[in-house]
Amino acid sequence: MTDNLKGILAVLASATGFGVNDALVKLATQDLPTGEIIVVRGIMATLILAAAATHGNAWRSPLLLLQPAMLVRLVASAFATLFIVMALRFLPLPTTAAILQVTPLVVTAGAAVLLGSHVGWRRWSASIVGFAGVLLIVRPGGVDFVPEAWIAIVALLFTATRDLTTRFIDASIPSLYIAVASSAIITLAGFALLPFEVWVRPSPRVFLLLSGAAAALYFAYYLGIVAMRTGEIAVVAPFRYALILLSLTLGYLIWGYIPDKMSFAGIGLICAAGIYLLHRERQMSRATRTLEGKPA
């Protein structure tokens, strides 16, 4: 089995983990408020990650959490999770998944505007096409507009902020340590909603749902890292859009949801823009290696 095939299988498994997590969390929203879902799932996910960090000797000084980039990432992670769970409560599963798949396009635009990174017209065009796909799904001002769609867009912005600030974190800090810290902060953020919600004792069914969600989330993150470290990123990464196909399938099987034609068109634009962006990154990487005299 080639490295690229291993990477493709890993990213497909990772996408499956994220899709299963989202579906289980959406099912749990029928019985529990948003903050309680975040806390219950977060405690289990943090324990799993902490065990993995201990096994992998990934623990570091707590003072590292006070670095500006780390603080911004932790806060952005907490708000991203909060709005993602809210979006799953109010919106169809495929709609939330498709909007969040625009994150790499927002990161590209954000890197150009905030960090001064060079982004050519092709990548700008891909980002604009991706945003157009979101507008086709959301349709603000139209008769089919759902106001709660803005929740998913806010989640998208916080997710992009999280990914952007990750670039400023010291590379010597293990990814697993960052994941544990993020999970712990996200869990604490869930408690902030306690004064505004009525929490109830989770039923065995809901507890099982959130246990499955926590496990799926761990494997999704872990296999995502494996995927990005195995094979060529430009070959492997496009398969992450299988998450949208899985979300469409789960949305239909569990809730009987079928997107309309405009939503399908928007999802297609988002996928096409994201895949083209990865293709363009691969071309630029090859050109850079050629200029440096390295084998492409």
Of the chain, the percentage scoring pLDDT greater than 70 comes to 91
Q: Which residue has the higher pLDDT, 100 or 168?
A: 100
For 185-221, what is each residue's pLDDT tens digit?
A: 999 999 999 999 999 999 999 999 999 999 998 888 8
Tokens of 23: 């579906």
Q: For the chain, give the mean pLDDT.
A: 88
Instruction: Tell whether the model's pLDDT for residue 113 goes beyond 80.
Output: no
**Mean pLDDT across the stretch 116-120?**
71
Distances (CA, A) of 92 to 27, 143, 162, 200, 221: 11, 17, 24, 25, 23
User: Which whole number is the average pLDDT over 126-146?
Assistant: 83
Q: How many CA atoms lie within 13 A of 124 on its CB side?
A: 7
Helix (H/G/I), strand (E/B), else coil: 92: coil
Comparing 31-45, 46-60, 108-122, 218-232, which segment has the lowest mean pLDDT? Answer: 108-122
**pLDDT value, residue 50:** 95
Residue 62 class from Cβ within 10 Å (0-12 exposed, 13-18 middle, 19+ buried)? exposed
Q: How is the chain split into domains, by residue range?
A: 3-291
Which residues contact residue 131 at a Cβ distance below 8 angstroms, ignoring those fewer than 6 apart? 102, 105
Structure confidence by residue, pLDDT tens digits, 55-112? 999 999 999 999 999 999 999 999 999 999 999 999 999 999 999 988 888 887 877 7
Whether 97 contacts 270, CB under 8 Å: no
User: pLDDT of 44-58, one tens digit each?
Assistant: 999 999 999 999 999
CB 134 within 8 A of CB 188: no
Do the Cβ atoms of 240 and 11 come closer than 8 Å?
yes
Residue 230: phi, psi to the nearest 5? -125, 125
* Tokens encoding 182: 């993020």
Helix axes 121-138, 93-100, angle to 10 degrees: 160
Burial (CB count <10 Å: 0-12, 13-18, 19+), residue 2:
exposed
Lowest mean pLDDT across 10-14, 21-25, 149-153, 230-234: 230-234
How much is the pLDDT for 122? Answer: 81
Cβ(58)–Cβ(174) under 8 Å?
yes
Confidence of residue 287 (pLDDT cuts 50, 70, 90): low
Amino acid at 283: Q
d(CA 126, CA 155): 21
d(CA 36, CA 272): 36
